[in-house]
Amino acid sequence: MKIAVVGTGYVGLVTGTCFAETGNQVTCVDIDVRKVERLQKGEIPIYEPGLDVLFDRNVAEGRLVFTTNLAEGIKDAEVIFLALPTPPGEDGSADLKYILKVADDLGHILDKYAVIIDKSTVPVGTAEKVHAAIVANAKVKFDVVSNPEFLREGVAVEDFMKPDRVVVGTSSEKAKKVMEKLYAPLVRQGNPVIFMDERSAEMTKYAANSFLAMKITFMNEIANLCEKVGANVDDIRRGIGTDSRIGKRFLFAGIGYGGSCFPKDVQALAKTSKDYNYDFRILQSVMEVNDDQKKKLLPMVDNYFGGSLKDKTIAVWGLAFKPYTDDIREAPALENINALLEAGAKVTVYDPEAMTNVKNILGDKVTFCHTPYAALDDADALMIFTEWPQFRTPEFEKMSKLLKNKVVFDGRNLYELETMREMGYTYFSIGREKVVPA
Ligand SMILES: NC(=O)c1ccc[n+]([C@@H]2O[C@H](COP(=O)([O-])OP(=O)(O)OC[C@H]3O[C@@H](n4cnc5c(N)ncnc54)[C@H](O)[C@@H]3O)[C@@H](O)[C@H]2O)c1
Ligand SMILES: O=c1ccn([C@@H]2O[C@H](COP(=O)(O)OP(=O)(O)O[C@H]3O[C@H](CO)[C@@H](O)[C@H](O)[C@H]3O)[C@@H](O)[C@H]2O)c(=O)[nH]1
């Protein structure tokens, strides 16, 4: 099949590469000239594990090409994916300007039937808006389908190639057949392609993300209560996660959810509810609790240092919003670093993949270090925001020699309380008792 993917970011590049891998001829289109130049040279602009192998193979075999020219990119395409940004507008709603601009362009240049696929996360009613924007100028027939994406960054290739399910919203039999053919190689193990109408497909995406954000937030509230009543949230997680009705995943309490999706999608669903005069109370609480959770460690640090962080040096491990990505959108680390800087602290940081992106925002306001240990040298305390595997079993003896105070503020519950006690650390984590040296 000949496929065009418009927007070559985290979703578009993974979508394009994976569909090339299943034998399709894919052209990825992006307006970012520098990005397209890098892709044409064989460079992947994002860090996404496993993507390079598929990318290299499909570029080498000529199934994956890149252009900045939309008309050239969609020439002869049977399907055209829109994998464009939908950032929050000022009122929290998803901003559709990128999608509707491309839809308008498509209306002028479509010269044969194609299925236009909304892959971006878009509010209910967007497929109709995209249809209207194209039809205003189109000389040919086309269908607009809603096909939300559920991949997670860091495991995007695996999620895309082996999806739990594929959701397709369409009222067109012709488009349905095209979508069945397209996804057949990815659902061979029996995972379903679930067909529904466009509005339900659009809503399914927001329901999934909001539910997961709520699940995490529930555990964060349990964690906060655990601290007060003297219980351990990790035990609670094991105790309830083994109930198959609850499930083991997405129950990890921590420093709040971040990333490019959960925060904006919960906000956008709340805005949709408001637009339809429905008071979606749980969503309001989820957003409020998560905002507080992200700042949770700061008063503990402040208290530890007697109410002033002026001239203290705080080492930070982990900048990305989660491990195995370089993405720092809505990363809890950033908000905390800014607060530390405002309070007069110096900050030294280490992250295996996300430092370049942070450098673009913070410049020389913080010190970037080449190893986790270099960040600890002469620091007054360590804060942890991302559970990169290399932070899980550090050399505690070495850490003790580098740090001025043996104190760790851990937003990801990486260490056993017993270990920290034995090593003589003061250790603050989430939803577990504070460890103080005997
Ligand atoms: N990142 C994820 O994990 C993820 C997962 C599922 C769904 N989504 C949704 O997918 C959509 C895309 O997200 P993303 O993270 O890939 O975004 P992104 O910002 O990484 O990529 C978007 C790309 O679109 C390009 N673009 C903007 N306007 C364009 C135009 N007129 N023509 C061509 N290209 C244009 C940008 O240059 C950029 O490269 C969003 O709606 C997001 O909510 C994201
Ligand atoms: O038990 C957990 C699981 C996750 N998180 C946090 O939740 C955020 C999101 O994590 P994750 O869902 O793994 O990453 P994303 O790549 O943002 O993926 C989410 O958002 C995507 C974009 O819509 C969807 O496609 C995915 O299905 C959905 O999981 C991160 O800050 C995590 O640290 C927790 O705090 N506890």
pLDDT digits 0-9 by tens, 364-416: 999 999 999 999 999 999 999 999 999 999 999 999 999 999 999 999 999 99
CB hemisphere CA count around 374 (13 angstroms)? 9
Q: Of 18, 28, 226, 261, which one is the catalytic site residue?
A: 261
- % residues pLDDT > 90 (the chain): 98
pLDDT one-digit tens code per residue, 124-170: 999 999 999 999 999 999 999 999 999 999 999 999 999 999 999 99
The rounded distance, in Å, linking the Cα atoms of 171 and 175 is 8
Average pLDDT value for the chain = 97
* pLDDT-derived band at 424, boundaries 50, 70, 90: very high
Residue 189 in this model has a pLDDT that exceeds 90: no
Indicate which residue's Cα is closest to atom 33 of ligand 2: 322
CB hemisphere CA count around 357 (13 angstroms)? 20
Check residue 22 and give its pLDDT.
Answer: 97
Mutate to test the pocket of ligand 2, among 47, 149, 202, 212 (most ligand atoms within 8 A of CB): 212
**Is 28 part of the annotated catalytic residue set?**
no
ipTM over the 0.95 cut-off = yes
Mean pLDDT of 33-42: 98
* pLDDT-derived band at 438, boundaries 50, 70, 90: confident
Q: Does any ligand 1 atom lie closer than 6 A to the CB of residue 138?
A: no
* pLDDT-derived band at 230, boundaries 50, 70, 90: very high
Amino acid at 216: I
Tokens standing for residue 287: 């957003």
Q: Does any ligand 1 atom lie closer than 6 A to the CB of residue 12?
A: yes
Tokens standing for residue 238: 């094991």
Give ligand 2 pocket residues (Cβ under 6 A).
121, 149-153, 209, 212, 216, 250-252, 254, 257-259, 261-262, 321-322
The rounded distance, in Å, linking the Cα atoms of 53 and 56 is 5
CA 280 to each of CA 172, 207, 272, 333, 438: distance values in angstroms, whole numbers, following the listed order:
32, 12, 10, 29, 48
Q: What are phi and psi of 168, to 5 degrees?
A: -130, 125
Radius of gyration of the chain (CA): 24
Check residue 271 and give its pLDDT.
Answer: 95
* pLDDT-derived band at 267, boundaries 50, 70, 90: very high
If we measure between CA atoms, which residue out of 24, 45, 46 comes closest to residue 36?
A: 45
Mean pLDDT of 176-187: 97
CA 240 to each of CA 76, 124, 285, 321, 424: distance values in angstroms, whole numbers, following the listed order:
52, 34, 22, 26, 31
According to the annotation, is 252 in a ligand binding site? yes
If we measure between CA atoms, which residue out of 421, 437, 430, 337 comes closest to residue 387?
A: 430
Residue 190 in this model has a pLDDT that exceeds 90: no
Cβ-count burial of 261 within 10 angstroms (0-12 exposed, 13-18 middle, 19+ buried)?
Answer: buried
Question: For ligand 1, what atom is nearest to the CA of residue 121?
Answer: 41
* pLDDT-derived band at 302, boundaries 50, 70, 90: very high
Mutate to test the pocket of ligand 2, among 150, 152, 155, 384 (most ligand atoms within 8 A of CB): 152
CA 185 to each of CA 19, 53, 194, 228, 429: distance values in angstroms, whole numbers, following the listed order:
9, 19, 15, 51, 44
According to the annotation, is 162 in a ligand binding site? no
The rounded distance, in Å, linking the Cα atoms of 201 and 159 is 18
According to the annotation, is 152 in a ligand binding site? yes
Check residue 92 and give its pLDDT.
Answer: 85
If we measure between CA atoms, which residue out of 233, 226, 229, 231 comes closest to residue 252?
A: 233
Q: Are 18 and 10 in contact (CB under 8 A)?
A: no
Alpha-carbon dihedral of residues 365, 330, 224, 150, nearest 10 degrees?
-150
Q: What is the pTM of this model?
A: 0.97
- Compute the distance from residue 262 Cα to the ligand 1 centre, in Å: 15
H or E element: which one contains 217? Answer: helix 198-229
Q: Are 125 and 99 in contact (CB under 8 A)?
A: no
H or E element: which one contains 381? Answer: strand 381-384
* pLDDT-derived band at 107, boundaries 50, 70, 90: very high
- Compute the distance from residue 13 Cα to the ligand 1 centre, in Å: 9
Amino acid at 333: A
Q: Are 406 and 429 in contact (CB under 8 A)?
A: no
Check residue 399 and give its pLDDT.
Answer: 97
Check residue 75 and give its pLDDT.
Answer: 97
- Compute the distance from residue 45 Cα to the ligand 1 centre, in Å: 13
Residue 315 in this model has a pLDDT that exceeds 90: yes
Question: For ligand 1, what atom is nearest to the CA of residue 150?
Answer: 6
Q: What are phi and psi of 164, to 5 degrees?
A: -60, -40
* pLDDT-derived band at 119, boundaries 50, 70, 90: very high
Indicate which residue's Cα is closest to atom 15 of ligand 1: 10
According to the annotation, is 205 in a ligand binding site? yes
- Compute the distance from residue 182 Cα to the ligand 2 centre, in Å: 26
Check residue 235 and give its pLDDT.
Answer: 98
Check residue 188 and give its pLDDT.
Answer: 87
- % residues pLDDT > 70 (the chain): 100
Provide the pairing of β-strand 367-368 with 346-350.
parallel
- Compute the distance from residue 93 Cα to the ligand 2 centre, in Å: 20
Residue 90 in this model has a pLDDT that exceeds 90: no
